[in-house]
């Protein structure tokens, strides 16, 4: 039987609708969530992501403040802007779109964002809180994946969960969120031996490596839930995930499409974090 589609497009619309209601009542109480989005340079993919984030803010009633800086912006100038936004009461959350130009040290910039406004949950304080199971903010993409798993109705507890990819943005925090839900978690990466064999053990398979169609249906356990975090643009302009959708959907029980799967959930979770930041900063 063909897999059911886990639509991030539909689920993110529901999440955003709930947030819209919530922001409506916050505004009635004089609390206006605000998200500062900083983009440095003109990477076309980053531009699209930033535009999508601003659009989501508009839909929900979150104020967005864009800072589009030139490629030549110095690290010191960027750090100065972050510091200014840290002090600005209208700004609940600060997002610096990654990657940054090579002459800017990403780690330094992430460290400069005050943890209370770090809606990406990239600051070591927030990463540590996730690690000990006491997060203020959930990392956006992994949190979106968890909501999609929940939507499938499959309980993570006791399941074999395989995460392919160990990035700080997705793979590592994803593993922590699955562990927090009592999954038995294996993390795979470029040095993993017999990747296909390990993937075939997974009841829940999350793939986040940025390699087009790396995981085929033959590496998926029948009935597995498959979450595809990849977004790869092929030379023919087609966008595909890290999973070969056509073969995987014949084997999985649930699968996310690309596009329209994890991507829209990432943005919805960013909105959720921004609303939470505004509440925390207002003692709620
Ligand atoms: N670049 C790719 N993904 C992300 C993300 O989740 N947050 C930020 N700030 N930059 C990104």
Ligand 1: centre distance to CA 160 (Å): 28
Catalytic: which of 97, 172, 203, 221?
A: 97
Alpha-carbon gap, residue 155 to 272, rounded angstroms: 23
- Among 43, 49, 113, 265, which residue has the most ligand 1 atoms within 8 Å of its CB, making it the best to mutate? 49
- Active site (annotated) includes residue 10: no
pLDDT at 252: 98
pLDDT per position in the chain (284 positions), as tens?
899 999 999 999 999 999 999 999 999 999 999 999 999 999 999 999 999 999 999 999 999 999 999 999 999 999 999 999 999 999 999 999 999 999 999 999 999 999 999 999 999 999 999 999 999 999 999 999 999 999 999 999 999 999 999 999 999 999 999 999 999 999 999 999 999 999 999 999 999 999 999 999 999 999 999 999 999 999 999 999 999 999 999 999 999 999 999 999 999 999 999 999 999 999 98
Ligand 1: centre distance to CA 227 (Å): 18
Nearest residue CA, atom 4 of ligand 1? 98
Is the CATH number 3.40.50.720 carried by domain 140-263?
Answer: yes
C-alpha to C-alpha distances, 108 to 76, 93, 114, 254, 279, nearest whole angstrom: 10, 18, 12, 39, 27
- Among 98, 126, 139, which residue has the most ligand 1 atoms within 8 Å of its CB, making it the best to mutate? 98
Nearest residue CA, atom 9 of ligand 1? 97
- Active site (annotated) includes residue 97: yes
Whether the CB of 169 sits within 6 Å of ligand 1: yes
DSSP string, 166-191: --TTTHHHHHHHHHHTT-EEEEE-TT
Whether the CB of 95 sits within 6 Å of ligand 1: yes
Domain boundaries, given as residue ranges, for the chain: 30-114, 140-263
Whether the CB of 97 sits within 6 Å of ligand 1: yes
Ligand 1: centre distance to CA 98 (Å): 5
Do the domains 30-114 and 140-263 sit in the same CATH topology, yes or no? yes
Alpha-carbon gap, residue 256 to 143, rounded angstroms: 14
pLDDT at 37: 98
β-pair partners for 161: 185, 204
Whether the CB of 118 sits within 6 Å of ligand 1: no
Name the phi and psi angles at 174, rounded to 5.
Answer: -55, -45
Largest CA distance in the chain: 56
Whether the CB of 273 sits within 6 Å of ligand 1: no
Nearest residue CA, atom 8 of ligand 1? 97
pLDDT at 1: 82
Is the CATH number 3.40.50.720 carried by domain 30-114?
Answer: no
DSSP string, 199-219: HTT-SEEEE-S--TT-B-GGG
C-alpha to C-alpha distances, 281 to 20, 117, 218, 275, nearest whole angstrom: 19, 9, 49, 10
Ligand 1: centre distance to CA 97 (Å): 5
Catalytic: which of 118, 120, 203, 228?
A: 120
Whether the CB of 96 sits within 6 Å of ligand 1: yes
Whether the CB of 167 sits within 6 Å of ligand 1: no
> In ligand 1, which atom is closest to the CA atom of 140?
6
């Amino acid at each position: 039987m063909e897999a059911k589609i886990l639509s991030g497009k539909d689920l993110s619309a529901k999440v955003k609708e709930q947030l819209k209601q919530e922001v409506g009542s916050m505004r009635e109480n004089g609390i206006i969530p605000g998200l500062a989005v900083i983009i440095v340079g003109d990477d076309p993919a980053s531009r699209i992501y930033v535009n999508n984030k601003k659009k989501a803010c508009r839909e929900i009633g979150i104020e967005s403040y864009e800072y589009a800086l030139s490629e030549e912006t110095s690290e010191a100038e960027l750090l100065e802007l972050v510091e200014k936004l840290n002090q600005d009461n209208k700004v609940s959350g600060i997002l610096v779109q990654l990657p940054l130009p090579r002459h800017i040290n990403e780690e330094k910039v992430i460290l400069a964002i005050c943890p209370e406004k770090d809606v990406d949950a990239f600051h070591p304080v927030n990463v540590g809180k996730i690690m000990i199971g006491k997060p203020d903010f959930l990392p956006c993409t992994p949190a979106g994946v968890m909501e999609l798993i929940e939507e499938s109705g499959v309980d993570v507890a006791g399941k074999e969960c395989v995460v392919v990819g160990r990035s700080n943005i997705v793979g590592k925090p994803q593993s922590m969120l699955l562990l927090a839900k009592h999954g038995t978690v294996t993390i795979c990466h470029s040095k993993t031996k017999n990747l296909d064999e390990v993937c075939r053990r997974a009841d829940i398979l999350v793939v986040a490596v940025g390699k087009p169609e790396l995981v085929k249906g033959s590496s998926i356990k029948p009935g597995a839930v498959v979450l595809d975090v990849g977004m790869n643009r092929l030379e023919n302009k087609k966008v595909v995930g890290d999973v070969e959708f056509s073969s995987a959907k014949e084997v999985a029980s649930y699968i996310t499409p690309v596009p329209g799967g994890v991507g829209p959930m990432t943005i919805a979770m960013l909105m959720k974090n921004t609303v939470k930041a505004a509440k925390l900063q207002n003692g709620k």
